[in-house]
Amino acid sequence: MQNSEALALSAALLAAAGELTQRIHDGVVARGFEGLRPAHGFAFARLAPDGATVTDLAAHLGVTKQAASQLADEIVRKGYAERRPHPGDARARLIVLTERGRACTRAAEEAAAEVVEAWVELLGEGEVRVLRDRLTRIAPYGPIRPAW
């Protein structure tokens, strides 16, 4: 593959990821969840289903503990999460999604399904399955980090 082809593929993948992120975010807002940024969704993915410490959240997002703590403060203040004692470490606190946070996560799942359905209409179900399978083979495993 030539450099120009590799660059075109890279640009297409980044554009698709950016569009997917934005459309999920727009779908969440359309469902009544305001005051959030796409980065919050990446944090919610780590907090669901059992919560996480600030250290866990920082590792998942690829940010400092201070940045993760600020993000946690923000989603707690907005009612999407709450702090609870950690069951295995008296020094630590778990950040756990509230019912509002879980509802927001469900809204994001619905919005993602709508986006993928549009891809199915464009490409066909078989092509989308092949796309998913191929991307799964080359994508790194682990957390999906936002571009800050």
pLDDT for residue 61 is more than 80: yes
- Residues 81-96: tens digit of each pLDDT: 999 999 888 898 999 9
Q: CA torsion sign, 129 to 135 to 140 to 145?
A: negative
Cα–Cα separations (whole angstroms), residue 100 to 77, 93, 145:
12, 20, 23
pLDDT for residue 117 is more than 90: yes
Distance in angstroms (rounded) separating the CA atoms of residues 101 and 117 = 24
Query: Can you tell me the mean pLDDT for 13-33?
Result: 94
Q: Where are the beta strands (DSSP E) in the chain?
A: 81-85, 93-97
Pairing outcome for strands 81-85 and 93-97: antiparallel
Distance in angstroms (rounded) separating the CA atoms of residues 31 and 44 = 16
pTM value > 0.75: yes
